[in-house]
Amino acid sequence: MTLTVPRRKAHKAGIDLPVVGLGTWRTFEGSDLDTLRQVLRTALESGADLVDTAPVYRTSETNLAALIHGDRRFFVATKIWESDPEAVDAVFADQLRAYGRSSIDLLQVHNLNGWRRNLAWLDRQKAAGRVEFTGATYQFDCAFGLGGTRADLLHIVTESLVDFVQINLNAAEIELAEDILPAAAENGIGVLVMRPFGEGELLASPPPTEWLRELGCATWTEALLRWVLAHPQVTSTLTATSRPEHFRDNVAAACAGPLGPDEAAEVARYARSFHTSRVRR
């Protein structure tokens, strides 16, 4: 039996999205398009129609666009990185051609790079009907020597300058739950979560199986994913994979529902203790 993921409302945008979406960072770069096509088919069958990518993800966006060219069943979230207006225009034109679309569902300012100018540009594209929804992503301050800060992100959220934000949030890195999540909820802004597993680092040292069973989880991956979903302000969490069976596991975890407060606190304590020990080495 195929499970169908729950959906949550992004109030400002006025749409709902699956609580689990498909990320493509480092996972859609391969040349095995048949396997990637199976991942996408698995996502659609489970109702997880949200896919997220970016032009700077090497060949990931190229592969994704080729596989879903002209297919409007997918909600495509992608990004702009450049800050030069002519370069932004050129990249966006390439994206529209690659996806075979006249508009992109969600276009995000990548890591807040040139966010003031690029948000104004996004608003113009939205008014022209070439972008359905606008967003901004944030991993850490001045990411990769560019972009903005957490304070900039909070300003964007509190001033309701976008429809969605995408943030770094997992059981070991919980800081943005303190201010960004409440502000997003207050302003109805949808929240996409990147790196729910810390790009795999948190999976390197899972807790004992018996401990997980006491939490009501079969695997550490399930516990980490359900920890993210325990935050009602989160619209969707993005899980990057190139393996259909892994995505099915993520769907099953989402269908199990969010962790309760006590269980979520236990998961965070374990994840942060492991994360802190790695940082100290």
Residue 279: pLDDT band (50, 70, 90) is very low
Give mean pLDDT, residues 69-87.
Answer: 94
Question: Is the per-residue pLDDT at 68 higher than 90?
Answer: yes
Give mean pLDDT, residues 160-183.
Answer: 97
Question: Is the Cβ–Cβ distance between 147 and 113 less than 8 Å?
Answer: yes
Other beta carbons less than 10 A from residue 110's beta carbon: 28
Q: Report the pLDDT value the prediction gives residue 84, as an integer from 0 to 100.
A: 87
Question: Is the per-residue pLDDT at 70 higher than 50?
Answer: yes
CA 23 to CA 60: how far, in whole Å?
Answer: 10
Give mean pLDDT, residues 101-126.
Answer: 96
Question: Is the per-residue pLDDT at 215 higher than 90?
Answer: yes
Question: Is the per-residue pLDDT at 262 higher than 70?
Answer: yes
Q: Report the pLDDT value the prediction gives residue 30, as an integer from 0 to 100.
A: 81
The verdict on pTM exceeding 0.75 is yes
Question: Is the per-residue pLDDT at 277 higher than 80?
Answer: no
CA 18 to CA 50: how far, in whole Å?
Answer: 7
Question: Is the per-residue pLDDT at 124 higher than 80?
Answer: yes
Q: Pairing state of beta strands 15-18 and 7-10?
A: antiparallel
Q: Mean pLDDT over all residues of the chain?
A: 94
Of the listed ranges 62-76, 177-191, 263-277, the least confidently predicted one is 263-277
Residue 240 contacts by C-beta under 8 Å, 6 or more apart in sequence? 22, 23, 24, 25, 26, 27
Residue 176: pLDDT band (50, 70, 90) is very high
Q: Report the pLDDT value the prediction gives residue 281, as an integer from 0 to 100.
A: 34
C-alpha closest to that of 82 among 48, 113, 111, 105 = 113
